Amino acid sequence: MAQQTPLYIVASPQPRVGKTLLARLLIEFFRSTERPTVAYDLNPRDPALAGRFPYLVTTVDIADTRGQMVLFDRLLSSEPHTTVVDLGYSPFDQFFAVMAEIDFVREARRQAIEPIVLFVADSAPTTANTYLALRQRLGATFVPVHNESVSVMFSKKEYPATHADCAMIRIPRLSPIVRGVIDRPSFTFASYLHEQRETPTEIHEWVGTVFAEFRELELRLLLGKLKSALDSRPPATAREPRRAPQR
């Protein structure tokens, strides 16, 4: 079984639900394991993610055909690196329309790339309907995300994962003071965790919880792929019993 390179698409049809924060955490998680990572910020008017990682994140405007071609060609690059896409509120519909039109998921998997949509859930019925429609339309791996700072109550049944290996990711709520700290333009999780190693804080516990969620997701996806590969193997042909030599 060929090893697949993950492509994480952080998405929601709603604004201000923590998509960029989730993309930041993913990038910091992959960098902490020294994994080759690239990212794309699809918020050309307010490229907050690119502002955090100017040497790692590329800003792309997909409002026109040229921008769409540039982005999707790069996403299908054969280079073995983990990719994170921060899909903004404005280009949400356009991105998934193009993704469906060019049958992107099929082509990506042909090139050993696995698109994984981290979809931030909320209590709005339109969000749940959009989630179900996209999941059925695209055939990609969809993983619901519960950001407790945005939505406290919603029906998890309305956000079924693609399969059991993609259980919902939980992003715990942060206190307002701490949230103000991590939202500072100069703040990075890597620097903070390195400088405050001997004095654990709420941020340490929070980042540890989120990173554990990411590790568990990766493990579940890997085990799911192994199980799928084993289930698809043809049954072994029964060997004929040896005959005793004739005298």
127-181 confidence digits (pLDDT tens): 999 999 999 999 999 999 999 998 777 788 889 888 777 789 999 999 999 999 9
Q: Which helix (H) or strand (E) holds 21?
A: helix 19-32
Percent share of the chain, pLDDT over 70: 90
Residue-range definition of the domain harbouring residue 102: 5-229
The residue among 103, 86, 97, 98 whose CA lies nearest residue 15 is: 86
Domain at 139, CATH number: 3.40.50.300
**Total domains present in the chain:** 1
* Residue 67: burial class (beta carbons within 10 Å; 0-12, 13-18, 19+): middle
- Segment 33-50, tens digit of pLDDT: 889 999 999 999 999 999
Residue with tokens 């998405």, as numbered in its chain: 11
DSSP string of 50-83, one letter each residue: HHH-TTTEEE---SSHHHHHHHHHHHT--S--EE
Q: Please indicate, yes or no, if residue 244 is contained in any of the structural domains.
A: no
What predicted TM-score, i.e. pTM, was given to this entire model?
0.89
Report residue 199 as tokens.
């004095």
